[in-house]
Amino acid sequence: MVKSIPLPAFILATPLVVALCYAATLPQTNQLLPAGHVSDSAAPRVAVKPMEYQVGGHPGFSVLEEVQQVAKPYNAREETFYVLAQQSPYHDSPLYPFMPHYYGTKTAEALGMSVASENVLQSTYLLIEDATAGFKRPNILDLTLGSRLYDEEANEEKRNKMIKKAQKTLSGTLGFRFAGMQVIDPMTGTPCIIDRDVLRKVTKDTAQATLASFFPDMLNPAYRRQVVACFHHALDQLSTVFNGTPALLIGASILVVYEGDATQVWSVIDAINDEFDPSAHCASFFRVRIIDFAHSTWTDKGVPRDDYQTALTNIRQLLTGV
């Protein structure tokens, strides 16, 4: 279980002083398996445990540490999106390189889960890449994009409900909302997951302070600048992705991960002797994935989403002041 701990100084030093932090167990990482459908008998069972560092999304995620995969509660529409993404022409879309690798489905029994466990919410799971794989102590930020929160299948009542919901949150004002955040204390290496109830209450006026909390003041200044530069670079890439992807994305998130381990950080700084180039240097310590496709569908052509572009613009502006 994840246990509540006192608010650490590195968070108290930021404007987000009402956040709740939790002790979390960080995963160890190994070799990725090749992509493709994984049947119940295709591979031996591996150790499965609850994802204690899950920062966003619905509960019920588990992590398969040995193969760097996440078991996500099954959703038929999301499975279809992942399966089609591996086929032409969608495999060639600008979205595909930013999607987690998809490994098929498995039942809870095949994964070795006890169906009586409180962590097992259903019998089938999607197996996707663990976006934090390869990071020793990952800082994680989950931002849900868009002011439209309903898909094509929503009835009028559902649409009206979601429109009103968006109007009351950052989704309606800035085009995105904070869905989850984990920050590593630069001094102790202690992980802190910001309580999602706190993140739901973030307003337009407190959004920049909240974003700043993802880059602690006690972080090495040179490294902090590099991470922020990588974030800016990723936002520029995502703008092109969302303009050129033949899909209607509803409720998709961008998952931002960067290394928080002090030893690894110094290795990064020492390795970059020349002028910092985000396109060349970011991959060693920074990663962005687009996730959550339970309400998304592939289309014949791109679907303009001004609210996604608005979200990227506003995130960029908030980031500039960090």
Per-residue pLDDT tens digits for 59-83: 455 777 667 888 888 999 999 999 9
CA neighbours within 13 Å on the CB side: how many for 173? 11
Query: The domain at 138-320 falls in which architecture?
Result: 2-Layer Sandwich (3.30)
CA distances from 284 to 137, 138, 280 (A): 13, 13, 9
> Which residues does residue 59 pair with via DSSP β-bridges, in sequence order?
none
In the chain, what is the straight-line distance between the N-terminal and C-terminal CA atoms, in Å? 33
Domain positions in the chain are 25-129, 138-320
* Residue given tokens 């078991």 in the structure block: 71
The pLDDT of residue 26 is: 35
The pLDDT of residue 115 is: 53
What CA–CA distance (Å, rounded) separates 170 from 207?
8
Give the residue ranges of the chain where pLDDT is below 50.
Answer: 1-20, 22-54, 56-59
The pLDDT of residue 51 is: 47
- The sign of the torsion formed by the CA atoms of 242, 248, 252, 255 equals negative
What CA–CA distance (Å, rounded) separates 169 from 176?
9
Q: Which amino acid is at 122?
A: Q
CA distances from 103 to 9, 35, 106, 126, 176 (A): 40, 5, 9, 8, 29
What CA–CA distance (Å, rounded) separates 311 from 158?
23
The pLDDT of residue 66 is: 67
Q: Which amino acid is at 282?
A: C
The pLDDT of residue 84 is: 97
